[in-house]
Amino acid sequence: MLEEQNIKLPERDGVNFEVWPEAIELGRMFADEGYELSLVGGPVRDLLLHRRSHDLDFCTSARPEEFEPILRRFGHDGFWDMGRKFGTLGAMRRRPDGTEVKVEVTTYRSDTYDPDSRKPEVAYGDSLEGDLSRRDFTVNAMALRVPDLEFVDPFGGANDLQKQVLRTPIDPYQSFDDDPLRMMRAVRFVAQLGFHIAPETAEALSDMTDRISIVSAERVRDELTKILLSERPSQGISTLVESGLADLVFPEIPALQLEIDEHHRHKDVFGHTLMVIDRAVALETGEDGPVPAPDLTLRLAALMHDIGKPKTRKFEPGGKVSFHHHDSVGARMTRKRLKALRFDHHLIEDVTELVNLHLRFHGYVDEPWTDAAVRRYVKDAGHLYERLNRLTRADATTQNKRKALVFAHAMDEMEDRVRELKKKEDFDAIRPDLNGDEIMQELGIAPGPAVGKAYKHMLEYRLDNGPVDHETAVAELHRWYEESQE
């Protein structure tokens, strides 16, 4: 691990072998025009961790209008300038093997926040060291000058990387005041890299959590998403709560820290939730499976499945504790919170439905369902069926081995039955045995609410009884309609 500052890497150094040829080429193009260029941030950190990346970040002494022609020449297969107002331009090229290499180049700069503003103000800088001093953490404040491959580490980032510690290059209070989102990023690096936050940095973070309120919901959402999609999402969520940030960005989660009664008659809901997240992650599949990892929908559902418990907790006679209807209450809370965080509408609906259905299977354990009930479960779960089963399995965290085996056996049995039933009929295509036109023709009624009610009844009949012949379906329709008119 490199620990010295401004090291000139030997040509055949092990790290040098991993430097991207595109970075060297782009460095020469900038040098030919008289500009400095350095690889910075994550790519340098990953280089020292022996990780590969195809998205390369650079900073330069040139202004955007000066280096735009260079970047357009470099980027044979793409160019973008959405970040121009922040001093950033990007380009992309494809290697002969089809691999895409994306680069983004930013003028030396400083990002600061007006105390009452949600958006950063951009000021150009004039040196690499000055630019590095304004970055979030020392492990991201290292650079590699190209094409000369001079390693620049003015704040000891390589040493912190080796110790797996997060520190800010400047005073943490000033750093978090300049960009409050850095507090969320600290949590994200805990989840992504398994690092710990240095004591003085953690203290500043906890003292300044209120500052996160000026950051837009979209930016907070993006960091939360990265935390959940990381290798250690439960560790990230735990850190988010411990820091106090969750009280502001996701208050339903720290609210799960319910006091445990002295007889331990109910679970620590927060600890249980962290366990469910880990178990859900373990149940994700490979790319060819039904729930490819990492799956944001499943992980969000695991995080939120019990958020209705604090509002529904009731102390029953005999010292028991109940949480009746926490599934439906939690579903409403889930929709509200995810909307506030500006998540995608379809994702919100899916996660909300998973929270609403997460207790649905439990009745099967006590008394196996009829085929009709199994059909209804699959139909109601729809495209969420595989995720719902994984959430249900993850939620079964009992330490009682006998109960755990009974539950797992019941879930296995139900899934086997679904596979057998699907061999006989396509659950995704289940429709009533009579369509809307046939219903109107049989009953002699015009389009309207009555047709919809009849259609819904016939769908319920189809789910309860499976497919029936036309004559039987017609008889059931008339029977239901006559009763509904009484």
Whether the predicted pLDDT of 428 surpasses 70: no
Q: What is the pLDDT of residues 157-214, one digit of tens each?
A: 999 999 999 999 999 999 999 899 999 999 999 999 899 999 999 999 999 999 999 9
- At 32, give phi and psi (nearest 5°): -60, -25
Q: What is the pLDDT of residues 364-412, one digit of tens each?
A: 877 888 888 888 898 889 899 999 999 999 999 888 899 999 999 999 9
> Mean pLDDT, the chain, as a whole number?
88
Going by pLDDT thresholds of 50, 70 and 90, the confidence category of residue 465 is confident
At residue 111, the pLDDT reads 54
Percentage with pLDDT > 70 across the chain: 91
Cis link prior to 43 (omega < 30° from 0)? no
Rounded CA separation 296/315 (Å): 34
Please state the rounded mean pLDDT for residues 320-343.
93
Q: What is the pLDDT of residues 70-104, one digit of tens each?
A: 999 999 889 999 989 889 999 999 988 888 899 99
**What are residue 113's DSSP bridge partners?**
120
CB 392 within 8 A of CB 358: yes
Better-predicted residue by pLDDT, 324 or 232: 232
Domains located in the chain, CATH noted: 1-163 (3.30.460.10), 171-250 (1.10.110.30), 251-429 (1.10.3210), 436-485 (no CATH)
> 153-158: long-range contacts at Cβ-Cβ below 8 A with a sequence spacing of 24 or more?
153/2, 153/3, 153/4, 153/5, 153/6, 153/7, 154/5, 154/129, 156/3, 156/5, 157/45, 158/1, 158/2, 158/3, 158/48
H-helix or E-strand spanning residue 194:
none
Going by pLDDT thresholds of 50, 70 and 90, the confidence category of residue 137 is very high
At residue 267, the pLDDT reads 57
Percentage with pLDDT > 90 across the chain: 60
Q: What is the pLDDT of residues 288-316, one digit of tens each?
A: 999 999 999 999 999 999 999 999 888 87
Is this prediction's pTM over 0.85?
no
At residue 114, the pLDDT reads 60
Whether the predicted pLDDT of 241 surpasses 90: yes
Going by pLDDT thresholds of 50, 70 and 90, the confidence category of residue 14 is very low
At residue 67, the pLDDT reads 95
Whether the predicted pLDDT of 125 surpasses 90: no
CB 8 within 8 A of CB 87: no
At residue 113, the pLDDT reads 54
